[in-house]
Amino acid sequence: MAGVVRLLPTSEAHDLLELTEELADKELAPKVDDFEQRGEFPREIIRTLGHSGLLSLPYSAEYGGAEQPYEVYLQVLEILAMRWVAVAEAVSVHTLACYPLAHHGTEEQKRRWLPEMLGGELLGAYCLSEPAGGSDAANLTTRAVKDRDRYFVNGTKAWITHAGVADFYNVFCRTGGPGPKGISCLLAPDTTAGLHPQARERTMGMNASPVAQIAFDDAVVDADRLIGNEGEGFRIAMGALDSGRLGIAACAVGLAQGALEYATGYARDRTQFGRPIIDFQGVGFMLADAATQIAAARSLMLHAARLRDAGLPYSIEAAKAKLFASDIAMRITTDMVQVLGGAGYVSDHPVERYFREAKVLQIVEGTNQIQRMVIARSLAKEM
């Protein structure tokens, strides 16, 4: 990537990023416009990435993972997002969907299901948000009632990425009383009777990424698919989201980097008044600010990842990284449309698509207002 100097922990990590760039150039860049215009999910492309090991990067080799540090995994996402952010998000969501089983499943559960989930063929989804509440996850209403060796699940989940195309769903549901202590996590296969993906939402961007509600109508989930104990679901969900927020930060950094590189190339080639427009301060300074903001966002992201890799608390740093990276992605993609002027407003140039795609990154995995609340509360506790 132009202008990006990476300090990687191993030669293996260097080779992995080279492989990712090769896949991104050959499999993603030539196809993104067609798939996005048709609104088709690139299932075979995701499967190719899976067979190359990119759907299992941060997980244990014992269960089929690549056992890569999170700082390396996030840079893989960044490279993918430069070419096609919906694909990077798909990898991030799948990695998030593997977290509950990988970190809270029993040994028997992990040996039974995790290798197939990490092997590249299966794709996961994460069902936490609901129509009446996304940010207020502790008060979710989807309920699971146990009857001997099965749970019967009823309710509706909303804004579920991979709805209708996922092979398994993490379903956070109420098995006890009100509040966070009444929530549990069930791992439901897509073949679950009573699990019904609804019509896709018509989204502003990432048209190739299916998002929809999922209705549970006496959905039958075997009791041995309970992940963790009853009442531990909220803690599992929040732990997964800490990691997932870093994935979204990486997507934001990659999207912003892709927009910057395209706009910079355009500004070098486009001439006005006998000079390339990059030579005018109004344009050149805009590009310089973007490059600086991206570098800062990448540093925040990698700092949080390195804390995670070291086993140190990283939740607040993940919130900061997600907040800052997605905010600057929105700002930079807006500015890169401006660099192109009228050309930036038409779909002939990808900055128009980058601009529409950036917005959702300020919303998913906890809105940026929620990130600010998390950070502010941590500051209050320190005083």
Answer yes or no: are the C-beta atoms of 137 and 234 closer than 8 Å: yes
150: region left, alpha or beta (phi > 0 left; psi from -120 to 50 alpha): beta
Tokens found for residue 152: 């019967």
Beta strands (DSSP E) in 95-136 are 124-127
Q: Say how far apart CA 244 and CA 159 lie, in whole Å.
A: 15
- Is position 352 annotated as part of the catalytic site? no
- The one-letter amino acid at 370: I
Specify which residues 130 forms β-bridges with: 133
Question: Which value, in Å, is the radius of gyration of the alpha carbons in the chain?
Answer: 21
The rounded distance, in Å, linking the Cα atoms of 280 and 47 is 45
Choose, from 36, 317, 357, 365, the residue flagged as catalytic: 365
Orientation of helix 281-309 relative to helix 70-83, angle to 10°: 150
50 vs 243: CA distance, rounded Å:
19
Beta strand extents in 281-382 (DSSP E only): none
Structure token digits, residue 116: 């197939």
- Report how far Cα 87 is from the mean position of its chain's Cα atoms: 9
Cβ neighbours of residue 307 closer than 8 Å, sequence gap 6 or more: 313, 314, 317
- Residues with catalytic function: 365
